[in-house]
Chains A and B, each alone.
Chain A
Amino acid sequence: MSSPSSAPLLEVEDLTVAFPSPAGPTDVVHEISFTLDPGRSLGIVGESGSGKSMTSLAIMGLLPPTARRTGRVRLAGREISSLPERQMRRIRGDRIAMIFQDPLSSLNPYYTVGLQIEEAYRAHRPNVTRRKARQVVVEAMERVQITDAARRVDHYPHQFSGGMRQRVMIAMALSTEPDLIIADEPTTALDVTVQAQILRLLRSVQQDTGAGLVLITHDLAVVSEMADDVVVMRSGQCVEYAGCEQLFSDPRHPYTCALIDAVPQLEDDVGELRAVGDAGPSRGGER
Chain B
Amino acid sequence: MTTSEVILQARNLVKEFVLRDQGGLFGHKRILRAVDDVDLTLYAGETLALVGESGSGKSTTARLIARLLDVTSGSVQFQGEEVTGLSRAELYRFRSNVQVVFQDPYSSLNPRHTVERIVTAPLVYQGRTVPGGARTFTRSLMERVGLNPDHSARFPSQFSGGQAQRIGIARALAVGPKVVVCDEAVSALDVSVQAQVINLLRKLQQEEGLTYLFIAHDLAVVRQIAHRVAVMNQGRVVETGERDAVFREPADEYTRTLLAAVPRIRPEWQAARRARAHDRRGG
Q: Which residues of chain A come closer than 8 Å to B260, judged between CB atoms?
A: 196
Q: Which residues of chain B come closer than 8 Å to A79, judged between CB atoms?
A: none
Q: Which residues of chain A come closer than 8 Å to B158, judged between CB atoms?
A: none
- Smallest Cβ-Cβ distance to B263: which chain A residue: A221
Q: Which residues of chain A come closer than 8 Å to B196, judged between CB atoms?
A: 275, 278
- The reply on A268 being an interface residue by CB < 8 A is yes
Contact with B along A248-287 (1 / 0, CB 8 A): 1111000001111011111110101111111001000001
- Smallest Cβ-Cβ distance to A221: which chain B residue: B263
Tell whether, in the assembled complex, residue A259 and residue B192 are in contact, meaning their CB atoms are under 8 Å apart. Answer: yes
- The reply on B270 being an interface residue by CB < 8 A is yes
Q: Which residues of chain A come closer than 8 Å to B277, judged between CB atoms?
A: 257
Tell whether, in the assembled complex, residue A47 and residue B191 are in contact, meaning their CB atoms are under 8 Å apart. Answer: yes
Contact with B along A23-54 (1 / 0, CB 8 A): 00000000000000000000000011000000
Q: Which residues of chain B come closer than 8 Å to A248, judged between CB atoms?
A: 265-266, 269-270, 273
Contact of A265 among B54, B258, B270 (CB under 8 A): B270
Tell whether, in the assembled complex, residue B267 and residue A267 are in contact, meaning their CB atoms are under 8 Å apart. Answer: yes
Instruction: Give the number of residues in A that approach B within 8 Å (Cβ atoms).
Output: 43
- The reply on B40 being an interface residue by CB < 8 A is no
Distance in Å: Cβ of A41 to nearest Cβ of chain B: 14
Q: Which residues of chain B come closer than 8 Å to A249, judged between CB atoms?
A: 268-270, 272-273, 276
Distance in Å: Cβ of A246 to nearest Cβ of chain B: 9
Tell whether, in the assembled complex, residue A275 and residue B269 are in contact, meaning their CB atoms are under 8 Å apart. Answer: no
Distance in Å: Cβ of A157 to nearest Cβ of chain B: 15
Tell whether, in the assembled complex, residue A192 and residue B269 are in contact, meaning their CB atoms are under 8 Å apart. Answer: no
Distance, CA A130 to CA B194, complexed state (A) = 50
- The reply on A154 being an interface residue by CB < 8 A is no
Contact of B192 among A191, A194, A222, A262 (CB under 8 A): A262
Distance, CA A262 to CA B189, complexed state (A) = 12
Contact sample, A vs B, 8 pairs, CB 8 Å cutoff: A193-B257, A259-B192, A260-B273, A264-B191, A264-B194, A264-B198, A272-B199, A272-B202
